[in-house]
Chain A
Amino acid sequence: MLEVSNITVCFDKAMIINDLSFHVNAGELVSLVGPNGAGKSTLLRAITGIVSWEKKVLRGTIGGDITFRGKVMFEGERIDDVPAHQIVERGLIHCPERRRPFRELTVLENLYAGAYLVKDKKEVQGHIDQVYELFPRLKERSKQISGTLSGGEQQMLAIGRALMYKPKLLCIDEPSTGLAPILRSEVFEKISKIRELGITILLVEQEVDSVFKMATRNYVLSSGKIIAEGAGEELLKDEGLRKTYLGL
């Protein structure tokens, strides 16, 4: 479904992603794990067009020039030269790091924003009902300004918003960061449910324990390279990997 080949991303002279290749098959839940600064978020941002957008719009105003090379294929079509807002139309949705709701908008307006590309009002309502079913808390808070929600609720909102345009592949960036343990397990439970809806998931996480139990395959990233790949159990057997990169 997603085929990333030999991509390299540099911010000015710092190489964040170094000639990296990986793929996601339809129906899988693939995780990207690794220490801070390994390039996990940048990798997602490169896939969903944000790096290209930054390169085009910011033109070196922050952190110098951005280099982005390589090939990204989604459902057999090349998307590395497609603008971010058009990548969304193809069903590749990115739920960003640190949740980032539109803080001044209400919960419901945030969901409407997620359904921006859906023109049919009935269809939008259908998606909203589906999201409310998955996250009943959002329904209770629908009129609340999203900036005033708790961290866990904001994460639910961010995922709900990303579901509003029927994703085929949903990329979720660190959903558990900054949440209490009980909320983390709730978030992971919801992600499993989303997968049951037939949505392929690419999950970036630091919470290796929970992720390895859920994911079909895992990639371990370090310094912009993939250093290991496989099912959770296999990776956990490797003592060096556990100690050095996974912190277990």
Chain B
Amino acid sequence: MIHDIKVLDIIISGLISGSTYAILALGFSLIFGVARIVNIAHTAFYMLAAYVIYSATYKMGIHPIVAMIIAIIVITFLGIICYKFLIEPIREREAAVLIATIALAMVFQESMLLGFGGHYLSVQPLIKGYLAIMGVKIMWQQLLTIIIAVVTLGAVWTWLSKTRTGLAIRSTAQDREVANLMGMDEGKIAVITMGVSVALAAFTGAVVVPLTVLNPFMWLHPLVMMMAAVVLGGMGSLKGSFVGAYILGFTEALVVFLLPGGAYLKVSVALFIMVLVLVIRPEGLYGVYFEEER
């Protein structure tokens, strides 16, 4: 039956996109919550990580797993430097942050365009071959990506809910001023959060790169989907961005496999769902109420 094949394809594809958006959205929400920064460059760090892996494996002949680790460390470091010197000084001015991070993303994009050219590049999967279930080919790399993504999401979640630093991040995300009154160094926590946030973006790039093609514009589509997921889930709610990400991931998969011309329609349908939810619930699925004013 053709439908059985589609169901499995949809599940795999939905899980991959959903998990990708979820990790990206988690990082984006974290730094938005803690420092009220709308970091447009978030997915540009994801793109950079993919290029670091490409260079490390192809140009320098480094083992892919080592390359992944290098990419995450280098990009996280870069993210913290960008935060310290570019974002922190203008942190409280939302419009300025928005423009600065757009500029940052453009700089990254143009640098990659200059360094690697605009053509598509690809990276070898970590594990080659595929698994056949009911006549559907599932690449091992796809399964691996799903497992790594879900494990990472679980690990970050546990870290946030069980550790002292995690508690400080969640507290600061809700009320910076009161967090200060509990002895939490809000500025330091913002730097830590920025590190974690960018590391998650770099990690996503590292995990996804074998399944996709590299080009300097690859940050745009995930940026739109990630922001849609965050808005759908409710700005500032970690749980919300999580749920939003999977809803959009599966919507995309459903549209691609079930509608004619779905590959072209997937973004519009996903965004239409976001608009629909916002019309009914303007605060998103798990909207958070901010207590900031005096």
The residues of A with any CB-CB pair to B shorter than 8 Å are 41, 48-50, 53, 57-59, 61, 83-86, 88-89, 93-94, 96, 98, 100, 102-105, 109, 112-114, 116-117, 147, 161, 165
- Contact with B167, one of A57, A58, A113, A117 (Cβ below 8 angstroms): A113
Closest partner residue, chain A, to B90 (CB atom):
A59
Residues of B within 8 A of A83 (CB): 185
Closest partner residue, chain B, to A104 (CB atom):
B174
* A102 CB to nearest B CB, Å: 5
B274 on interface, CB distance cutoff 8 Å: no
Complexed CA–CA distance, A165 and B181 (Å): 11
The residues of B with any CB-CB pair to A shorter than 8 Å are 91-93, 164, 167-168, 170-171, 174-175, 177-187, 237, 288-289, 291, 294
Can you offer 27 A-B residue contacts whose CB atoms are under 8 A? A50-B180, A53-B186, A57-B187, A59-B92, A61-B92, A85-B180, A85-B183, A85-B184, A85-B185, A86-B183, A88-B183, A93-B181, A96-B177, A96-B178, A102-B174, A102-B178, A103-B174, A103-B291, A105-B170, A112-B167, A113-B167, A113-B171, A114-B182, A116-B182, A117-B182, A117-B183, A165-B183
A-B contacts besides A49-B180, A50-B180, 18 pairs, CB < 8 Å: A41-B294, A57-B92, A83-B185, A85-B184, A85-B185, A88-B183, A96-B178, A100-B175, A102-B171, A102-B178, A103-B289, A105-B171, A109-B167, A109-B170, A116-B171, A117-B182, A117-B183, A161-B182
Residues of B within 8 A of A57 (CB): 91-92, 186-187
Cross-chain contact B186 with A104 (CB below 8 angstroms): no
Closest partner residue, chain B, to A110 (CB atom):
B171
- Contact with B180, one of A58, A84, A165 (Cβ below 8 angstroms): A84
Closest partner residue, chain A, to B161 (CB atom):
A109
* A59 CB to nearest B CB, Å: 6
* A115 CB to nearest B CB, Å: 8
Most chain A beta carbons < 10 A, residue from B93, B168, B182, B291:
B182
Residues of B within 8 A of A58 (CB): 92
* B181 CB to nearest A CB, Å: 5
Cross-chain contact B177 with A116 (CB below 8 angstroms): no
A109-B167, A113-B182, A116-B164 in contact; A104/B92 too (CB < 8 A)? no
Closest partner residue, chain B, to A63 (CB atom):
B294
Q: Which 3 residue pairs are nearest across A and B when measured between Cβ atoms?
A: A88-B183, A117-B183, A61-B92
Cross-chain contact A61 with B170 (CB below 8 angstroms): no
Cross-chain contact B181 with A116 (CB below 8 angstroms): no
Most chain B beta carbons < 10 A, residue from A41, A103, A165:
A103
Complexed CA–CA distance, A93 and B187 (Å): 19
Complexed CA–CA distance, A112 and B289 (Å): 22
Residues of B within 8 A of A84 (CB): 180-181
Residues of B within 8 A of A102 (CB): 170-171, 174-175, 178-179
Cross-chain contact B183 with A116 (CB below 8 angstroms): yes
